[in-house]
Amino acid sequence: MAKLEERGVALNVAFLVGHGTLRTAVMGPEQRLPSPDELPAMQELLRRELKQGALGLSTGLIYAPSMYADIDEVVALAQVLREYGRLYTSYSAARATPWPRRSQRRSRSAGGPGCWYRFPT
C-alpha cells in the first residue's frame, strides 16, 4: 500500500486479504481444520492486514486450501471484519451453486456486509 500511495496510481485500487493466504501463512498447506492456536493466529493476521488498509476478506471455498475450512472458521474470520466494518466476499466459478446463500449466511452470522461474485466463463 505504501509503495502505491508513494508512487500514485491512475485507477482506484483496493486490496482484499485472501483466505487461502491466511491459512497458508499460519498452517502451511495442511488439509485440515485449524488447531485451537491457529485460528486466533489467522484472526490476528487478518486484523494486521485490515489495519494496513485491506478492504476485507475474500474466500474461494471450492479451491485449496480454503476448501478445507468449515463454516466456523470462516465466521470467526468474518467476525474480525465486523470489528473494522469491512467486507466479506466469496468467489465461485460454478454457474449453478449454493454459494450465494452460503455467503449470505456467513456474513450475517458475523454481523457484517457480504458479497458473492462470479466471473462469467
Domain boundaries, given as residue ranges, for the chain: 38-44+55-97+113-121
- Taking only the tens place, the pLDDT of each residue in 36-83 is 999 999 999 999 999 999 999 998 888 899 999 998 898 899 899 999
| pLDDT for the residue numbered 101 | 58
Q: Which cell is 96 given? A: 449453478
- Taking only the tens place, the pLDDT of each residue in 103-120 is 556 555 656 666 655 555
Rounded Cα distance between 67 and 58, Å, is 13
Maximum distance among all alpha carbons in the chain? 43
